Amino acid sequence: MNNQVEQLREEFLSRLAAAQDAQTAEEIRVEYLGKNGSITGLIKGMKDLSIEEKKDFGQKVNVLKNEAAQKIAEKLAEIKQKELEAEILAMPEFDITTPANLERGSYHPITLVQRQCEEIFKSMGFAIENYSEVVSDYECFESLNIPKHHPARDMQDTYYLENGQLLKSHTSAAQNAIYRKYKDALINDGVPIKAIFPGRCFRNEATDACHENTFFQMEGVMVDKNISISNLIYFMKTMLSEVFQKDLSVRLRPGFFPFVEPGFELDISCLICDGEGCPSCKHSGWLELCPCGMIHPEVLKAGGIDPEEYTGFAFGLGLTRLAMMKYGVKDIRDLNSGSLKTLAQFTDDH
């Protein structure tokens, strides 16, 4: 009988050792330890033995049963480990050097430049205003002290519509509405008017690489009791240094615009040579950037603000020109071309 146990043990161990996968191990378990398994069968065959023999034999069978169960568990763990290792080894090495898929959307470059400017002005407490593209003669000219026979009102410059309205030829066309919107807060509560208004403008002219009939500007105004030329220079220098991310020098030259007095042309030190003189600034060291000035008393008056009590400055940045300068766009028409080859490159720029 004892031989029988030993024999079965050896047979079991050799069978188990040969098992390669979890299924075989499970079959072996059923075969030896199942209801009708060989080890289970040993116990069934004990009924003919004496009590003493039963005790001794039963103990041996139990030892074998436990050993077998443990060995099977070990075998299963071993197989699982092997499988995992095989799976790990089976993992191929990827080609990380293939080009990444960069497909994504894009912003129009004007949006990017406009947002950047808006951020700067917002941080300095300026409200951002929205204005229509169709305006009246009063908004575009009359309220801006541009008299009836001023050359700027010539038909060839401005797109007029059949109903007498026109497509705004400059963002200054929004000035009057801005003053009217904020004048009560200014006069009654002393809240200074600080606003920018980016917008699309139109000029009736032939287009080429440098000229477009449709372009973007951004107007800015600040009105309060004691706004001075000194403040104007300070703000322009600070804002433009932020826009171009470098400490710029600015200089003013007299410039004539009917809606400012005094009016200026503002130059910034050349972005390429920092004022040393280079081909890009025609060796002058300066780039003409934007017109600005102290708001003309008649313009304030038209906006319902008393020029004896309040002064202010205004400026007009060419957003289209800024975008072209910033990204090196050479042909202005590319911006309205709708061509994704050009425009899909402007993914983001914050």
Residues 205-264 that bind other proteins (CB under 8 A): 205-206, 213-214, 222, 224, 226-231, 233-235, 237-238, 251-256, 261-264
Kindly identify the residues of this chain, within the stretch 304-333, that bind other proteins according to CB under 8 A.
307, 311
Report if residue 341 touches other proteins, rule: CB under 8 A. Answer: yes
Buried b (16+ CB within 10 A) or exposed e, 237-270: bebbbbbbeeebebebeebebbbbbebbbbbbbb
Euclidean distance between CA atoms 15 and 12, whole angstroms: 5
Among residues 15, 65, 107, 242, the one that binds other proteins under rule CB under 8 A = 107
Kindly identify the residues of this chain, within the stretch 14-53, that bind other proteins according to CB under 8 A.
none
Among residues 3, 130, 188, 245, the one that binds other proteins under rule CB under 8 A = 130
Report if residue 11 touches other proteins, rule: CB under 8 A. Answer: no
Cβ atoms 287, 281 nearer than 8 A: yes
Euclidean distance between CA atoms 155 and 321, whole angstroms: 24
Site of tokens 């470059």: 109
Helix 229-244 and helix 109-123: axis angle, to 10°?
130
Gyration radius (Cα) of the chain, Å: 43
Q: How far is the CB of 96 from other proteins (least distance, A)?
A: 23
Q: How far is the CB of 325 from other proteins (least distance, A)?
A: 18
Residue 95 is given by DSSP the state: -
| Choice between 39 and 218, CB closer to other proteins | 218
Kindly identify the residues of this chain, within the stretch 139-198, that bind other proteins according to CB under 8 A.
149, 151, 154-156, 159-163, 165, 167, 190-192, 194
Q: How far is the CB of 122 from other proteins (least distance, A)?
A: 7
Kindly identify the residues of this chain, within the stretch 78-97, that bind other proteins according to CB under 8 A.
none
